[in-house]
Amino acid sequence: MKIPLAFQITEYDCGTTTLLNAFLFLFQRQEIPVEVLKTIYQYTLDAIGKNGIKGEMGTSRKAMKQLTQWITKYTEEHSLKIKCENLEKEKVTEEKIKNCLNHHGCVIARCYQKNEHYVLITKMNDHFAFLFDPYYVGEKEYDKDTQVEVDLTHPFTYNRVVQIERLFGESKEDFSLMEVEKREIILMNKTA
C-alpha cells in the first residue's frame, strides 16, 4: 500500500523526512525494510547548531553521502531493489535529473530556503519541476512569487511546482539549487 508523503515535525528534519519520502515514493509501505528506516534516523540530524546542540543544523552533506553509500551496500546484500547516486557541482544537470525521473526514480535535492534545505523532486517537464517540500506551508504562501506554486492536492507525489529557471538559478531564492559549487543531489531509482 502506498501512503502519502510526510512533512517534517521540527525546523531541522528536512533531510530525514526527505530520505523517508524517497522510499515512500518508490516503494509500497510493506516493501520498506525497518533496517532502512532505523539507519536513516541514525545517520541524519548530525549537524551541530549554534548552541552546540547536535541536530539543530539538520543533516550534513557528509551524512547524506554516507547514507547513499550505506543504501548501495545494503541493496547488494539484501533484496531491496534500489540504485543511488550522489552528484555534485557541475554534474547536477537537468538532463540527469529528467533521466532519473523517467526511469522509475526520484531525486533528493539540496536547495535554498532561508538556509540549505532538502526536497524530493518527483517529476519534471521542460518548464516545471514538481517536488515535495517536507516543510508544510499554507496554499497562499507563495502567492507573490510567480515562479513557485503550492499544490496540496497531490499528497503522494508533490506539493510545490517550481519553474525550471528558479530550480537551476544560482540566487538565494526558495528552491534554487544554489551556486554550481554548492549543488548536491541524490538520484534514486527503483530497479527491477
Position 183 pLDDT exceeds 90: yes
Residue/partner pairs of 38-41 with CB below 8 Å, 24 or more apart: 39/67, 39/70, 39/74, 40/16, 40/67, 41/16
User: Taking the model in full, what pTM does it have?
Assistant: 0.94
Position 79 pLDDT exceeds 90: no
Position 55 pLDDT exceeds 80: no
b vs e for 160-182, b when ≥16 Cβ sit within 10 Å of the residue's Cβ?
bbbbbebbbbeeeebbbbbeeeb
Q: Which of 49-63, 66-80, 160-174 has the lowest mean pLDDT?
A: 49-63
Cβ atoms of 167 and 161 closer than 8 Å:
no
Question: What cell numbers appear for 151 in the block?
Answer: 499544490
- Categorize the per-residue pLDDT at 169 as very low, low, confident or very high, splitting at 50, 70 and 90: very high
Where residue 128 falls (left for φ over 0; alpha for ψ -120 to 50; beta otherwise) is: beta
Q: What's the one-letter identity of residue 109?
A: A
pLDDT per position as a tens digit, 128-166: 999 999 999 999 999 999 999 999 999 999 999 999 999
